[in-house]
Structure 1
């Protein structure tokens, strides 16, 4: 991936498609890291079990007690902002990159019919686009990728 390609994709109107393409093109190392961070959050809130030791989950719940929530039915509550915060804190991934990952995942959940209101995709994308206006956050993502050798630097990634 190159930095200019990322910025151009964000400027396109078919935002969901380009966001998904970005993650399809993602290096395996980064995809694995984001998936692991996301999965660990799902363990924290008790949506899934088995991929992390009990002691890891117990420690995560001690460190992030406000993130463990139950709905009126008693089922776990997934909170996108909590997921982003958890992923960034535990894995030292820039929050914007975590937010992009969570937004892409949510778009797929809505598209699959698990959320009854398809306009949620537009709302979700608009919320993410508001975060993408923060050029310093975007630069942080690009620097994170460059430092890990996952992005070729081709010049300024964001122009002011």
Structure 2
């Protein structure tokens, strides 16, 4: 249990450093190139962006079964929810303030949504990918090398 807590605290510290130039929630999402460690795009906040996150949250199909939450390459999309969004789903309950979507080209790493809530802290989940490709194309982030597959059922 202590190793898991240490790992989660480490991740929070890493995110704070990676997104040190955080824009306000009204400015929208930041897209990070994980390998380069730099922000490559800012997506303007909009109802469409906020609704996309709500759709991801409603399509959670399981928790991440590994302590390796972040990939070594690919992209991370940090999206603050404005206003915070209250959810009560199987794997997530609470007021979601922010999410980070990780997508990697690795065939063994499946898209992972890191969800930050006021009550529970954070939880890493997998989502159904039916809208992920559309979202990436719309925001000029789609790369056919990215693994958008859903993880096999456990």
In the superposition, the TM-score normalised over structure 2's length comes to 0.30
Larger Rg: 1
- Select the structure with the greater relative contact order (CA < 8 A; seq sep ≥ 6): 1
- Greater strand proportion: 2
- Greater helix proportion: 1
In the superposition, the TM-score normalised over structure 1's length comes to 0.29
